[in-house]
Amino acid sequence: MSDVTRLTLADAREGLKKKQFSATELTQAFVKAIEAGNAALNAYVLPTPERALKQAAASDARLAKGTAGPLEGLPLGIKDLFCTAGVRTTACSNVLGEFTPTYESTVTQNLFDAGAVMLGKLNNDEFAMGSSNETSRFGPVVNPWRRKAASGALSNTNLVPGGSSGGSSAAVAADLCLGATATDTGGSIRQPAALTGTVGIKPTYGRCSRWGIVAFASSLDQAGPIAKTVRDAAVLLGTMASYDPKDSTSVDTPVPDYEAALGRSIKGLRVGVPKEYRVNGMSPEIDDLWQRGIAWLKAAGATVHDISLPHTKYALPAYYIVAPAECSSNLARYDGVRYGLRVPGEDLIDTYERTRAAGFGKEVRRRVLIGTYVLSAGYYDAYYLKAQKVRTLIKKDFDDAWSKVDVVLTPTTPSPAFGFGEKAGDPIAMYLEDIFTVTVNMAGLPGISVPGGLSGQGTPLGLQLIGKPFDEATLFSAAQVIEDAAGHFHVDNSWWVGAKG
């Protein structure tokens, strides 16, 4: 049997159906790959091999009986932001301690109901706040990709896998799972996907239930998959998405068969290219990538149109008011009383203050303080209300664009994967990582990142397609065209196997 961990999710599904291997064999292969590779990559913060093998055995029984679900026996990784019943869930924050939920998030429940196997919990930036996975309590995740010198020699310098879903992107890129769950508040699915040569989609706000996902900024947070291919992402989103009465912002609209959208012709599709995304100092290789993406879509019959989204440059500063404000409110629940860490103090308030000082990392503390400031008496109108008005204008930019185009094409990130510590010292430099992705969250739209090529240093670059609300199907059709033209990007040297952390 060849290495089954290299299969795409869709091919593994076929292999199980044709009985080329069992769910148990498939799961065992991933358990071994995680044992051999996780020390160096730190993608999993809690591997759950025993549970995975138990789930796989149940899948094999259902496969034999002919009662298999759509994801039967397929091993996935779950971001540690998703509450998993009986399995420690920490959002990679010390403040959650050894929190072990007694309930299951709706998204993971949907996956398990469909037969999926959980290999373990994946690393992320603390409370999903970060773009490099450097703020996790469990330490940083390492990108499986490394830079290549002109001679072809592989550099030893570790690169970040993007964030906040850095464990998800690294695990998928290194074949430590067939696919992974992720969440995206300002780019946390699409940016790590771009930096690791994987596919990531943030669906329309309301498409996936947020119930049981540790909250960061409730009006921006959405779940979605990171996967090896566009098809795999379509398969996973089809199961993750659902209407859920437990999330009042979840939208009661049918989930289409996304797989059926793959291979659909994009002849006549109107593609918008926003001039405001041509930012100062954009590297020539990112511009080349963008031009290639335009050419591929044109060659498939799409028409390309210059458009303007005039409030683009204000999306990031508005985001850094709205997101911290909502985070300071959401994170008020971590009080050392009901769950997680408690650092005893002289009285109750002192207990709160010591617990939160010890439990939250530096970036989380910074954002809670910014959020508290902008929401405090006398400042609400100047900051939060202003930002929410700007948000209306950002959404209007897109509403206007939809009369002329069906999708918008942009690069996913301004640059390829960077080294550790390169941007950690300057919060604003790190925030600029999300410059092309954050508008999509502000407007609640769906966005997909699909690999478009490699940088001059041999590391992946991503193209982003933005769609109309609830039109993920068109994104999948167009992303498939890009994937067919660009090809797949797989790390060609598994340096992490057997390497020490």
Partner 1 sequence: MQVDEATVRRIARLARIRITDEEATSLQGELSGILDWVTQLDEVQTDGVEPMTRVIPMTLKKRADVVTDGDKADDIVKNAPASEDHFFVVPKVIE
Pairing verdict, β 75-79 and 270-274: unpaired
The residue type at 124:
N
Using CB under 8 A as the binding rule, whether residue 409 contacts partner 1 is answered as: no
CB of 376 to partner 1, least distance (A): 6
Q: Rounded to whole angstroms, what are the CA distances from 287 to 307, 347, 410? A: 17, 58, 10
Q: Kindly tell me which of 343 and 485 has the beta carbon lying closer to partner 1.
A: 343
Residues 251 and 230: beta-carbon distance below 8 Å: no
> Which 94-113 positions form the footprint of partner 1 (CB under 8 A)?
97, 99-100, 102-103
Q: Kindly tell me which of 53 and 375 has the beta carbon lying closer to partner 1.
A: 375
Using CB under 8 A as the binding rule, whether residue 314 contacts partner 1 is answered as: yes
Using CB under 8 A as the binding rule, whether residue 200 contacts partner 1 is answered as: no
Could you say which of 82, 290, 352, 402 contacts partner 1 (CB under 8 A)? 352
Q: Kindly tell me which of 148 and 391 has the beta carbon lying closer to partner 1.
A: 391
Using CA atoms, how far apart are residues 270 and 406, in angstroms rounded to an integer? 5
- Choosing from 93, 105, 165, 188, the catalytic residue is 188
- Choices 7-15, 188-196, 290-298, 372-380 (CB under 8 A): range interacting with partner 1: 372-380
Could you say which of 146, 210, 356, 468 contacts partner 1 (CB under 8 A)? 356
79 is catalytic: yes
Q: At what angle do helices 362-375 and 348-359 cross, to 10 degrees?
A: 130
Q: Kindly tell me which of 321 and 417 has the beta carbon lying closer to partner 1.
A: 321
CB of 237 to partner 1, least distance (A): 17
- Choosing from 164, 328, 455, 477, the catalytic residue is 164
> Which 125-154 positions form the footprint of partner 1 (CB under 8 A)?
none
The secondary structure of residue 332, as a DSSP letter, is G
Q: Kindly tell me which of 287 and 400 has the beta carbon lying closer to partner 1.
A: 400
Tokens 């771009």 correspond to what residue?
194
Tokens 């009465």 correspond to what residue?
245
Using CB under 8 A as the binding rule, whether residue 500 contacts partner 1 is answered as: no
Residues touching partner 1, count (CB under 8 A): 69
376 is catalytic: no
> Of 211, 202, 166, whose CA–CA distance to 183 is shortest?
202
275 is catalytic: no
> Of 139, 160, 190, 165, whose CA–CA distance to 423 is shortest?
160
Using CA atoms, how far apart are residues 165 and 169, in angstroms rounded to an integer? 6
Long-range contacts of 482-485 (CB under 8 A, 24+ apart): 482/293, 482/296, 482/297, 482/450, 482/452, 483/199, 483/229, 483/230, 483/450, 483/451, 485/296, 485/299, 485/300
Residues 137 and 167: beta-carbon distance below 8 Å: no
CB of 13 to partner 1, least distance (A): 32
Q: Kindly tell me which of 21 and 384 has the beta carbon lying closer to partner 1.
A: 384
Residues 413 and 462: beta-carbon distance below 8 Å: yes
> Which 214-253 positions form the footprint of partner 1 (CB under 8 A)?
219, 245, 248-249, 251-252
- The encoded tokens of residue 278 equal 């041509």
- The encoded tokens of residue 55 equal 């789930």
321 to 350: interface string for partner 1, x by CB under 8 A: x------x---x--xxxxxxxx-xxxxxxx
Active centre residues (catalytic): 79, 164, 188
Q: Which residues bind partner 1 (CB under 8 A)?
A: 97, 99-100, 102-103, 204-206, 219, 245, 248-249, 251-252, 311, 313-314, 317-318, 320-321, 328, 332, 335-342, 344-354, 356-357, 360, 365-366, 368-370, 372-373, 376, 383, 385-393, 395, 427-428, 443-444, 469
